[in-house]
């Protein structure tokens, strides 16, 4: 039983996931700090308030904290934007450079001018309609 557990833990997928979670948590802390300490401070400099906690509506003597939601929403959008522009865009650019499109292969068949069936390029007669197919037949 322990041998199976050890094999499970030492599989590449589990280790990759563990490393991804640790790096993701560290990156999340960096992005959260950037959002809170830099971007929200810039918004504070423009808007005059670092957050919107004071925005509260009262409905039947019950406070509805819309400001907390707005602060969380702005923080989420800033984190998502930072992740997109700092990680996704550069990785997509790198992958497009690495994965160049495969060259188009030369055609191996041509179309019979009589019955429009696909036949090998070297064929001189169509196996379907038995018409003579010369070098002037159109390629597919």
Q: What does the alpha-carbon distance between residue 111 and residue 117 come to, in Å, rounded to a whole number?
A: 6
Tell me the mean pLDDT in the region 71-76: 78
Q: Higher-confidence residue: 55 or 139? A: 55
Tell me the mean pLDDT in the region 76-86: 81
Mean pLDDT over each residue of the chain, to the nearest integer: 80
DSSP label of 134: -
Q: What does the alpha-carbon distance between residue 128 and residue 104 come to, in Å, rounded to a whole number?
A: 28
Residues of 84-104 as b/e, b for ≥16 C-beta within 10 angstroms? eeeeeeeeeeeeeeeeeeeee
Question: Do residues 119 and 126 lie in contact, with contact meaning Cβ atoms separated by under 8 Å?
Answer: yes
Report pLDDT digits (tens) over 10-63: 776 777 788 788 888 888 788 778 777 887 778 778 877 666 777 788 889 998
**Whole-prediction pTM value?**
0.47
What are the structural domains, with CATH classification, of the chain? 2-98 (1.10.1200.120), 106-140 (no CATH)
Tell me the mean pLDDT in the region 129-133: 84
Percent of the chain residues topping a pLDDT of 90: 1
């Amino acid at each position: 039983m322990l041998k199976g557990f050890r094999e499970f833990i030492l599989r590449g997928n589990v280790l990759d996931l563990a490393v991804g979670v640790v790096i993701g948590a560290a990156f999340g802390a960096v992005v959260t700090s950037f959002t809170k300490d830099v971007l929200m401070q810039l918004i504070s400099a423009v808007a005059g308030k670092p957050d919107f906690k004071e925005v509260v509506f009262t409905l039947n003597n019950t406070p509805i904290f819309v400001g907390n939601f707005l602060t969380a929403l702005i923080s989420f959008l800033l984190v998502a934007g930072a992740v997109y522009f700092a990680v996704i865009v550069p990785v997509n650019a790198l992958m497009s450079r690495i994965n160049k499109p495969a060259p188009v292969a030369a055609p191996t068949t041509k179309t019979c001018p009589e019955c429009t069936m696909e036949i090998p390029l070297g064929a001189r007669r169509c196996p379907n309609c038995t018409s003579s197919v010369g070098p002037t037949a159109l390629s597919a």
